[in-house]
Chain A
Amino acid sequence: MSSRIKEIFSRVKTENRKALINYIVSGDPNIETTLDIMNAMVEEGVDIIELGVPFSDPMAEGVSIQKGHERALENGTSLRDTFKLVEKFRETNIETAIVFMGYMNTFESLGAQEFMIEADKVGLDGILIVDMPPEESSDFTKYAEERSIDIIRLIAPTTSSARSKIICSQASGYIYYISVKGITGAGNLDAEDVKINVKELKQHTNLPIAIGFGIKDSASASSVKEVADGIVVGSVFVDLIGEGGDILKKVKDKTKELSEALS
Chain B
Amino acid sequence: MSEELMPDKNGRFGIYGGRYVAETLVPALEELSDQYELIKKDNKFIEEFRSDLAHYVGRPSPLYFAKRWTELLGGAKIYLKREDLNHTGAHKINNTVGQILLAKHMGKKRIIAETGAGQHGVATASVAARHGLECIVYMGEEDIKRQSLNVFRIKLLGAKVVGVSSGTSTLKDAMNEAMRDWVTNVDDTYYIIGSVAGPHPYPQIVRDFNAVVGEEVLEQSQIEIGKDPDVLVACVGGGSNAMGLFYPFIEKKNVRLVGVEAGGLGLSTGKHAAPLNDGKQGVLHGMRTYLMQDESGQVTETHSVSAGLDYPGVGPEHAWLKDIGRAEYVTADDEQALEAFKELTRVEGIMPALETAHGIAHVKELAPTMNKDQSIVVNVSGRGDKDINTVASIEGIEL
Interface residues of A (CB under 8 A from B): 54-62, 66, 70, 73, 78-80, 103-109, 130-133, 135-136, 153-160, 163, 167, 178, 181-183, 186
Contacts and interface: CB of A to CB of B under 8 A. Distances in A.
A59 B184 contact: no
Interface string B163-181: 0001100001100100110
Contacts of B180: 59-62, 183
A157 B24 contact: yes
Contacts of A182: 24, 183-184
> Interface size for chain B: under 10, 10 to 19, 20 to 34, or 35 or more residues?
35 or more
B298 A133 contact: no
Given A57-B284, A106-B297, A167 B20 contact: no
Interface of B: 10, 18-28, 166-167, 172-173, 176, 179-180, 183-187, 282-286, 291, 293, 295-300
Given A55-B297, A105-B293, A135-B10, A181 B23 contact: no
Contacts of B166: 66, 70
A178 B296 contact: no
Contacts of A186: 184
Given A108-B282, A163-B27, A57 B167 contact: yes
Nearest to B286: A131
B176 A183 contact: no
A131 B22 contact: yes
Contact of A80 (B23, B283, B293, B296): B296
A60 B284 contact: no
Contacts of B183: 60, 181-183
A108 B22 contact: no
Given A59-B179, A163-B27, 6 more contacts: A60-B183, A131-B22, A133-B23, A135-B19, A158-B26, A181-B186
B184 A183 contact: yes
15 contacts: A57-B167, A57-B173, A59-B176, A60-B24, A78-B296, A106-B298, A108-B283, A109-B296, A109-B297, A133-B23, A156-B26, A157-B24, A181-B183, A181-B187, A183-B184
Contacts of A167: 23
A55 B298 contact: yes
A182 B176 CA distance: 13
Contacts of A70: 166-167
